[in-house]
Amino acid sequence: IVVLTGGVGGAKLVLGLTQIVAPEKICAIVNTGDDFRHLGLHISPDLDTLLYTLAGKANPVAGWGREGESWNFMAAVRSLGGPDWFSLGDGDLALHVLRSARLAAGEGLAAITAAFARSWNVNVTMLPMSEDPVPTLLDTEEGLLAFQDYFVARRCAPAVRRVIFDGADRALPGPGVIEAIEDRQTEAILIAPSNPYLSIDPILSVPGIGTALRRATAPVVAISPIVGGAAVKGPTAKLMQELGFPVSPAVVAAHYSELIDGLLVDQRDDASGLTLAHAQTDTLMSTLADRARVAEAALMLAQRLVP
């Protein structure tokens, strides 16, 4: 099972999948458009969130970072007049420092991610969408903003006119990405209920990934990030409106139209107008059982669509 995913919502889905499919059979292709350098460190928010979630170390309340985290680094940074708009937990820093050191030594992001996963007994394969920088930029009413400036520093407040995947035209898919999608053994390809514009589109912006999805023999099923006409968390709904769309699963279906074979829609939303194959369930993933149920519903829809 291949999953295209961003951070929080997608990580819940992948965790749900591990409840019904052996982790070794799951391959997550992860957004790295949010990656950035901060204080000289290479930070990969979505890879980290997925890793923490699958390793059982995630902070379930914040939706990012580690459970039981301490903040003495940040306190010292603040006392030294350093930038404190992006919170780096003491334990969390280990990933960033080790990743940065290994990147500087010439290792690739995919190999580093795999080594981290092994250390924490995470058996899901985690593939960065690309090892090349493809920073997401937001063209907003306040001008061009880097992703974290928009997402963290400005808390998604500025209205977005356009999302830019800077450098995507020169980026190569990460090691294993195309192979995983096109593998004839792959039974289903899921698009997680992550933000289509900020978490999934960056993955699709990497040349070759869209073509691979179209060539894949496995059915492609997206899980709608809309729940009862709103987004569960994050700026999905706000962005949809700013980009001129109603907040509905039909917009999600249209957004992924050429790439997906089916859409899993929340039971609260109206799916009557969808011409695409679809199924409905409660897609709110509060508990682990919820996550497994959503993952199972997506896989069942995919099974229906096997040619």
146 lines the binding site for a copy of itself (CB under 8 A)? no
Q: Interface with a copy of itself by CB under 8 A: which range of 28-36, 113-121, 171-179, 233-241?
A: 113-121
Candidates 25, 69, 166, 187; binder of a copy of itself (CB under 8 A) is 69
Candidates 19, 59, 87, 100; binder of a copy of itself (CB under 8 A) is 100
What whole-number distance in Å separates Cα of residue 14 and Cα of residue 288? 11
CB of 82 to a copy of itself, least distance (A): 5
Task: Give the CA dihedral 94, 95, 96, 99, nearest 10 degrees.
Answer: 120
Q: Which is nearer to a copy of itself, 81 or 244 (CB)?
A: 81
62 lines the binding site for a copy of itself (CB under 8 A)? no
89 lines the binding site for a copy of itself (CB under 8 A)? yes
77 lines the binding site for a copy of itself (CB under 8 A)? yes
CA-based torsion, 257, 263, 266, 271: positive or negative = positive
What whole-number distance in Å separates Cα of residue 51 and Cα of residue 116? 8
φ and ψ at residue 33, rounded to 5 degrees: -65, -25
Q: What's the DSSP call for residue 27?
A: E
196 lines the binding site for a copy of itself (CB under 8 A)? no
Candidates 94, 111, 172, 254; binder of a copy of itself (CB under 8 A) is 94
What whole-number distance in Å separates Cα of residue 195 and Cα of residue 197? 6
**Max Cα separation, the chain?**
61
Candidates 70, 211, 267, 286; binder of a copy of itself (CB under 8 A) is 70
Q: What's the DSSP call for residue 110?
A: H
79 lines the binding site for a copy of itself (CB under 8 A)? yes
272 lines the binding site for a copy of itself (CB under 8 A)? no
106 lines the binding site for a copy of itself (CB under 8 A)? no
CA distances to 59, 149, 220 from 284, in Å: 18, 28, 21
Number of residues that bind a copy of itself (CB under 8 A): 31
Output the 3-class SS for 213-233: HHHCCCCEEEECCEECCEECC
Residue whose entry in the numeric block shows the structure tokens 């800077």: 166
CB of 110 to a copy of itself, least distance (A): 16
Binding site for a copy of itself (CB under 8 A): 39-41, 66, 69-70, 72-73, 75-77, 79-82, 89-95, 97-98, 100-101, 104, 115-116, 119-120
